[in-house]
Amino acid sequence: MQRFHVRLVLAVALAATLAAGARASFAAGDDALYRAFGQRDGLVKIVADATNRWVADDRIKDTFDNINLDRFKNLLVDQLCELTGGPCKYTGRNMYEAHKGLHLNQAEFNALVEDLQLAMNKYDIPFSTQNELLVMLAPMEHDSVTR
């Protein structure tokens, strides 16, 4: 009986990599990811749902106290639209300036990400597509988290 061969393991690894690459590749410079999120309308819905979760989430609702939520949601949609290759321009401040007054920690940043994932789940954004956005948001931890 043939034992488990290194080739099989490598085949699995290759298959996994190919599976990851075989789905639509969202190259920088086009709006494929923007369209995958349902364009501005889709982003507006996701941001609205995520914001509802954030202001109800005991872990982070205090950080949303005394914030004009309409203004916040607009800025966030602009930012996500621009990040995903959409025809928008984010006009808010950079992540460090915008968040330093809040003294956020990692747990708060992660809570925000988790609620955003739930919002994206609600609108049936595929997990791999969600990660295409999260890959751009994750490095913002370095600037947004100051505590």
Quickly list H helices, the chain: 6-22, 32-36, 39-56, 69-83, 95-99, 106-122, 127-137, 141-144
Figure out which of the listed residues 41, 62, 94, 122 binds other proteins, where binding follows CB under 8 A.
Answer: 62
Q: Rounded to whole angstroms, how far apart are CA atoms 32 and 25?
A: 8
Q: Which stretch binds other proteins (CB under 8 A): 34-42, 47-55, 79-87, 124-132?
A: 124-132
- Per CB under 8 A, the list member of 19, 41, 87, 122 interacting with other proteins is 19
Alpha-carbon span 44 to 73, nearest angstrom: 8
**Neighbouring residues of 105: CB distance < 8 A, sequence distance ≥ 6:** 145, 147
CB 92 within 8 A of CB 75: yes
Q: Which stretch, 40-48, 49-57, 82-90, 137-145, contacts other proteins (CB under 8 A)?
A: 137-145
Residue 122 interacting with other proteins (CB under 8 A): no
Q: Does 100 bind other proteins (CB under 8 A)?
A: yes
Q: Which is nearer to other proteins, 123 or 127 (CB)?
A: 127
Query: Residues 41, 52, 106, 122: which binds other proteins (CB under 8 A)?
Result: 106
Please pick, from the candidates 41, 122, 123, 128, the single residue that binds other proteins as defined by CB under 8 A. Answer: 128
